[in-house]
């Protein structure tokens, strides 16, 4: 055989061999991919099922809404909200395609041309800047199904290098299946809804809100370039923490958009020099309206989710509440304005002295160290140092940087743990709630002065002695048992036989004196005379009062003792507002509630909530109690005559103030035809309080919150809350027309001097 023939023969064999290797390689790759797709022998790990591919699950934040459809807040492990393709600005879509996958509309999940480019540049030319060649669909597969973590549980995945190849193959397989199941628009939307943009922003909707305080459909080219730039690496290109990197990355995205014709020369030249302008705000549970309410409702939602098989943090539930965003805003503004003023008075009142005092007015010894022992920090020190109290005390008094609350804004300072306890214990606190008495819908809820620093809710969680605000429940029991608001009593001592030493108890009026005057029980309640309530309590008995209080929705334990008539058993703002609402609702008690309905992520109603009601009083008794409550704003000596006169013009208002012993608690309950609201103000501990009635009474401590709130509510015509009269029953047999007779008998004047004389609450 000639050399020429040998060369041809060798060439032919080489070609055949190359083809065999090529075809064999193709067959091997096919078998390899197929074996991965079926997880042969458990070597590779499972692939997503067809069902999960058609319904890929991503954690969705559950969103809560006010009654007027304003978003209230979210519950999330990952702060994510979903949108459709039509809700995206074209700028975002253009930037994403130009930067991440320019042939996105041409391939079916795998860009073979892009892979060839990557292979040629990175493998043959060692060019690391060539990119990874992954399509948007492959990236979506990687994020949705965690192909490099959750699906990497096969026996071969731990082999160095091979595990990465297997993961890549899985991404190819899943990408192709995703392309078969979804349109290109759906894939774009899914990718942008799923991607983590940093700063706890999962998905383009949350990212647009977090970084620019806008919505995805309003994103400009500049903003879109910044957010798409984060798809490369959210940490490295964060506009908050790496602004220089973010600026350069933004320009890279803009250059890609310019390269592929999405922006013209003029736009590119203008935008590439423009700085990034952020409106940055990371959403958390300490910010926004109704923070205390969100903290309270959480436990109800967790219980509901567990009972009904949902995950509050992942399933994208939509919770519609009864709270009105406008009323909530007015309530929080009223609380802030009054409590800042009240705190100033309190600080001046104590003039730098410690306000925690015993019944004799002496400072309570070891108060601060006892409070410190209740902290988690003390328990950790105790675990570390055991019984070495000196070392523990040394650590408690060790200064350290911290941020503290003040009514003038947060303060960065240096304090020890003991100093911070001393500082925070001096703050006064509050709880305020307003509800529609006709349907039980709670419209506003303020559980304290600042949720970030004081998590304890004083609307439902907190219970304190209601003082004189409990008296209407006593009188309601009496009137429902045949007494009239015109029933006459004398302002004289009333003595009860009790168990103990001494064997009798005689409640005193707030002035410590009795006038001996004859008056109606309406006048006695308006002036909050303890003698009047004690007289009625002795007539009907404590057990009757407890029974009626329960019918009016008070679930807190009540002691059936004579002193209950002065509000000695703890109750909550939530309970009292519900009880007073019964009077407006014609005797029907409606339990205050705050969840209207819960929907799934697609808007399907899962549960519609309805109020729980029961007939607690006759409609006549209920109206008579409104007449009784109006006395505080109409009768000379009424404790609510200090209300703004403008509020009372052409308007029926029922009211009751309350002050407890030593002025530890100040209360106010206000009743109108459309709204019932109540406020409590006091110290974190009962030992923290004002020292005199002029500052420590409910008319001073709590009533201004209600007043400020109602002024704002009436000024907002869109709310539909108007002044007017209470609804009167058609047939009213209870005698109410007795005011003229009693006024003559009392010989009272309308002078300001006399009004001020009685402008105090009865104190137990």
The end-to-end CA distance of the chain, in Å, is: 127
Question: What's the CA gap between 632 and 653, in Å, rounded?
Answer: 9
The tens digit of pLDDT for each residue in 701-725 reads 999 999 999 999 999 999 999 999 9
- Average pLDDT of the residues in 284-299: 88
Q: Which of 157-171, 379-393, 704-718 is least confident?
A: 157-171
Q: Is 558 in the same domain as 696?
A: yes
Work out the percent of the chain whose per-residue pLDDT is above 70: 85
Q: At what angle do helices 90-100 and 221-229 cross, to 10 degrees?
A: 40
If one counts every other C-beta atom within 10 angstroms of the C-beta of residue 121, the result is 16
**Shared domain check, 582 and 485:** yes
Q: Is residue 759 part of a domain?
A: no
Distances (CA, A) of 529 to 180, 466, 511, 518, 738: 80, 15, 9, 12, 19
Q: Is residue 66 part of a domain?
A: no
Q: Judge whether residue 30 has pLDDT over 80.
A: no
Residue 332 lies in a domain: no
Q: Is 209 found in the same domain as 166?
A: no
At 432, the pLDDT band (50, 70, 90 cuts) reads very high
The pLDDT confidence band at residue 443, using thresholds 50, 70 and 90, is: very high
Question: Do 125 and 222 belong together in one domain?
Answer: no
Rounded Cα gap, residues 638 and 631, in angstroms: 6
Pairing between strand 62-65 and 318-321?
parallel
What would the two tokens of residue 223 be?
Answer: 């903003």
pLDDT at residue 750, rounded to an integer: 42
* Segments in 106-219 forming alpha helices (H): 112-118, 136-145, 162-181, 184-194, 204-212
CA atoms within 13 A on the CB side of 650: 3
Taking the C-alpha atoms of residue 427 and residue 386, their distance in angstroms, rounded to an integer, is 32
At 589 the pLDDT is 98
What rounded mean pLDDT belongs to the chain? Answer: 87
User: What's the confidence (pLDDT) of residue 761?
Assistant: 45
Strand partners, 589: 614
How many domains, the chain? Answer: 4
pLDDT at 48: 59
* pLDDT digits 0-9 by tens, 124-143: 444 444 445 688 888 888 87
Cβ neighbours of 622 (radius 10 Å): 25
Give dist(CA 478, CA 522) in Å, integer.
12
**Is residue 276, in this structure, part of any structural domain at all?**
yes
Strands 411-415 and 400-404: antiparallel
Does 156 score more than 60 pLDDT? no
Read off the pLDDT of each residue in 472-487 and give the average, rounded to a whole number: 96
Task: Tell me if 98 sits within 8 A of 262, measured CB to CB.
Answer: yes
Residue 1 lies in a domain: no
For residue 335, the model assigns a pLDDT of: 98
Are the C-beta atoms of 64 and 81 separated by less than 8 Å? Answer: no
**Are both 551 and 416 inside the same structural domain?**
no
Query: Is the pLDDT at 748 greater than 50, yes or no?
Result: no
Cα angle, residue 426 at apex, residues 364 and 370 outer, rounded to 5°: 40
* Domain limits for position 92: 25-55+88-194
Question: What's the CATH code of the domain at 279?
Answer: 1.10.3810.10
How far is residue 581's CA from residue 108's CA, in Å, rounded to a whole number?
Answer: 64
Report which of 27, 223, 59 is spatially closest to residue 601, judged by C-alpha positions. 59
Are 391 and 498 in the same domain?
no
pTM as predicted: 0.78
Q: Is residue 585 in a domain?
A: yes
Same domain, 474 and 516: yes
pLDDT interval class at 11 (50, 70, 90): confident
Same domain, 488 and 380: no
Mean pLDDT of 566-591: 97
Instruction: Mark whether 250 and 396 lie in a shared domain.
Output: no
**Residues facing residue 75 across a β-bridge:** 62
Strand, helix or coil for residue 681: strand
Q: What is the CA radius of gyration of the chain?
A: 36
Dist CA 362 CA 428 (whole Å):
20
Domain boundary among 135, 168, 194: 194
Task: Take residue 643 and report the two structure tokens written for it.
Answer: 């209300």
Among 284, 300, 325, where does a domain finish?
284
- State the alpha helices, DSSP H only, in 509-601: 521-526, 530-540, 542-551, 573-584
In-domain check, residue 133 = yes
Q: Identify the pLDDT of residue 133.
A: 63
- Which helix (H) or strand (E) element contains residue 403? strand 400-404
Give start and end residues of each alpha helix (H) in 260-406: 265-271, 291-308, 325-350, 367-372, 376-385, 389-396
How much is the pLDDT for 128?
47
Q: Identify whether residues 176 and 222 lie together within a single domain.
A: no
For residue 642, the domain's CATH number is 3.40.710.10
Average pLDDT over residues 610-621: 95
d(CA 275, CA 250): 10
CA-wise closest residue to 524 among 741, 761, 697: 761
Does residue 479 carry a pLDDT above 90? Answer: yes
Given 146, 166, 194, the domain boundary residue is 194
- Asked if the structure places residue 396 within a domain, the reply is yes
For residue range 318-356, list pLDDT tens digits in order.
999 999 999 999 999 999 999 999 999 999 999 989 999
Say yes or no: 665 and 738 in one domain. yes
Q: Which residues lie below 8 Å from residue 64, measured CB to CB, with a gap of 6+?
A: 71, 72, 73, 74, 75, 294, 297, 319, 320, 321
Check whether residue 738 and residue 604 sit in a common domain.
yes
Residue 744: band (very low, low, confident or very high) from pLDDT cuts 50, 70, 90: very low
The confidence score (pLDDT) of residue 380 equals: 92
Give the Cα separation of 469 and 430 in Å (integer): 16
Q: What are phi and psi of 428, to 5 degrees?
A: -85, 150
Give the model's pLDDT for residue 111.
Answer: 72
**3-class SS at 392?**
helix
């Amino acid at each position: 055989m000639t050399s020429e023939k040998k060369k041809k023969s060798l060439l032919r064999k080489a070609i055949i061999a190359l083809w065999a290797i090529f075809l064999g390689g193709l067959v091997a790759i096919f078998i390899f991919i197929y074996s991965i797709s079926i997880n042969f022998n458990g070597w590779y790990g499972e692939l997503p099922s067809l069902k999960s591919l058609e319904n890929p699950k991503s954690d969705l934040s559950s969103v809560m809404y006010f009654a007027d459809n304003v978003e209230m807040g979210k519950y999330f492990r990952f702060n994510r909200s979903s949108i459709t393709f039509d809700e995206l600005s074209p700028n975002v879509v253009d930037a994403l395609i130009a930067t991440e996958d320019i042939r996105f509309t041409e391939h079916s999940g795998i860009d073979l041309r892009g892979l060839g480019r990557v292979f040629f540049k990175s493998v043959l030319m060692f060019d690391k800047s060539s990119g990874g060649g992954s399509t948007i669909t492959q990236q979506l597969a990687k994020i949705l199904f965690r192909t490099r973590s959750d699906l990497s549980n096969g026996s071969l995945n731990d082999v160095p290098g091979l595990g990465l190849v297997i993961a890549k193959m899985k991404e190819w397989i899943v990408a192709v299946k995703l392309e078969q199941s979804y349109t290109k628009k759906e894939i774009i939307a899914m990718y942008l809804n799923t991607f983590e943009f940093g700063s706890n922003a999962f998905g383009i909707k949350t990212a647009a809100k977090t970084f620019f305080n806008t919505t995805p459909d309003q994103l400009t080219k500049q903003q879109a370039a910044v957010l798409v730039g984060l798809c490369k690496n959210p940490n490295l290109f964060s506009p908050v923490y790496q602004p220089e990197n973010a600026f350069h990355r933004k320009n890279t995205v803009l250059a890609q958009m310019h390269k592929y014709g999405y922006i013209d020369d003029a736009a590119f030249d203008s935008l590439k020099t423009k700085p990034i302008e952020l409106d940055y705000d990371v959403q958390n549970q300490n910010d926004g309206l109704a923070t205390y309410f969100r903290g309270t409702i959480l436990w109800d939602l967790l219980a509901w989710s567990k009972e009904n098989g949902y995950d509050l943090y992942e399933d994208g539930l939509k919770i519609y509440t009864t709270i009105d965003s406008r009323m909530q805003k007015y309530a929080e503004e009223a609380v802030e304005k009054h409590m800042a003023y009240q705190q100033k008075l309190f600080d001046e009142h104590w003039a730098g002295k410690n306000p925690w005092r015993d019944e004799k007015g002496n400072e309570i010894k070891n108060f601060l160290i006892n409070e410190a022992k209740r902290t988690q920090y003390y328990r950790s020190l105790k675990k570390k140092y055991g019984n070495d109290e000196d070392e523990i005390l040394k650590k408690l008094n060790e200064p350290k940087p911290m941020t503290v609350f003040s009514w003038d804004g947060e303060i960065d300072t240096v304090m020890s743990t003991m100093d911070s306890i001393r500082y925070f214990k001096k703050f006064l606190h509050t709880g305020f709630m307003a509800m529609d008495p006709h349907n039980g819908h709670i419209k506003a809820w303020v559980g304290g002065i600042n949720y970030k620093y004081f998590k304890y809710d004083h609307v439902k969680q907190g219970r304190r002695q209601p003082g004189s605000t409990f008296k209407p429940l006593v009188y309601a029991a009496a009137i429902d048992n045949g007494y009239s608001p015109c029933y006459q009593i004398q302002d004289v001592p009333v003595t009860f036989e009790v168990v103990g030493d001494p064997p009798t108890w005689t409640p005193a009026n707030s002035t410590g004196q009795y006038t001996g005057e004859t008056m109606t029980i309406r006048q006695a309640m308006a002036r909050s005379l303890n003698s009047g309530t004690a007289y009625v309590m002795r007539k009907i008995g404590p057990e009757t009062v407890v029974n009626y209080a329960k019918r009016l929705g008070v679930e807190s334990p009540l002691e059936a003792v004579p002193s209950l008539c002065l509000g000695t058993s703890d109750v909550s703002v939530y309970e009292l507002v519900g009880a007073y609402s019964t009077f407006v609702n014609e005797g029907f008690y409606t339990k205050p509630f705050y969840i209207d309905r819960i929907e799934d992520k697609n808007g399907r109603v899962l549960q519609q909530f309805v109020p729980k009601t029961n007939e607690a009083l006759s409609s006549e008794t209920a109206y008579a109690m409104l007449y009784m409550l109006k006395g505080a704003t109409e009768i000379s000596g009424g404790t609510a005559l200090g209300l703004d006169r403008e509020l009372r013009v052409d308007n029926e208002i029922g009211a009751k103030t309350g002050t407890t012993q030593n002025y530890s608690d100040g209360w106010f309950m206000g009743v109108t035809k459309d709204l019932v609201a109540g406020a409590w103000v006091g110290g974190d501990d009962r030992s923290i309080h004002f020292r005199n009635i002029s500052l420590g009474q409910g008319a001073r401590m709590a009533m201004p919150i209600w007043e400020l709130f109602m002024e704002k509510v009436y000024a907002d015509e869109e709310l539909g809350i108007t002044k007017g009269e209470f609804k009167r029953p058609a047939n009213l047999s209870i005698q109410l027309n007795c005011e003229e007779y009693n006024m003559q008998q009392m010989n009272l004047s309308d002078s300001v001097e006399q009004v001020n004389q009685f402008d105090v609450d009865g104190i137990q």
